[in-house]
Amino acid sequence: MDFELHDDGVLKRPYLHDGYVLGIAIREKSSIEITVKDVQENHYQIRLNSVQRFRCEEFLEGNIIFDATIKSGAAPDDGSLRRLMPAPHPLAEQQYHSKAEQYLDEVQEKIKSGDLAFFEITASYGCTVLALCKAIQIIPLKA
């Protein structure tokens, strides 16, 4: 299935607002599968391929999606990217902070150029997902 985005990168089709994150599976070769359901009870699998970074926070019973965003070819939200790639410990030597900032800048450029994709699910309740990967597929599932 092709997916469609609003100009700001928010997923337009399939429309997942108020839907649910049902499960997350980490597969071999850096592949992650996120099973979601929309309010019409349609199920989808979001496949993140060649994942370089992944973070899932607050996975709870009844994870309600506020929105899902895909950024590739445009700058991602800096705050979200920094949550995925946090800075070194505040007491770490300056060289580590400098390297982390340089790496963050490189990643932002790769997202802007379309070489990488940044994926985010923000939650109304429960699960927030952040990921950096090479490709994203959304596949309809039979319930």
For residue 128, pLDDT beyond 90? yes
Q: What are 98-114's pLDDT values in tens digits? A: 998 999 999 999 999 99
Across 64-68, 78-82, 85-89, the highest mean pLDDT is recorded for 64-68
Q: What is the pLDDT of residue 1?
A: 65
SS3 3: coil
Q: Is the pLDDT of residue 45 over 70?
A: yes
Residue tagged 């400098």 (tokens): 98
Question: Per the structure, how many domains does the chain have?
Answer: 1
Question: Quick one: which of 106, 32, 119, 24 has its CA closest to 80?
Answer: 119
Structural domain including 115 reads 4-141
pLDDT score of 38 more than 70: yes
3-class secondary structure, 26: strand
Length of the chain: 143
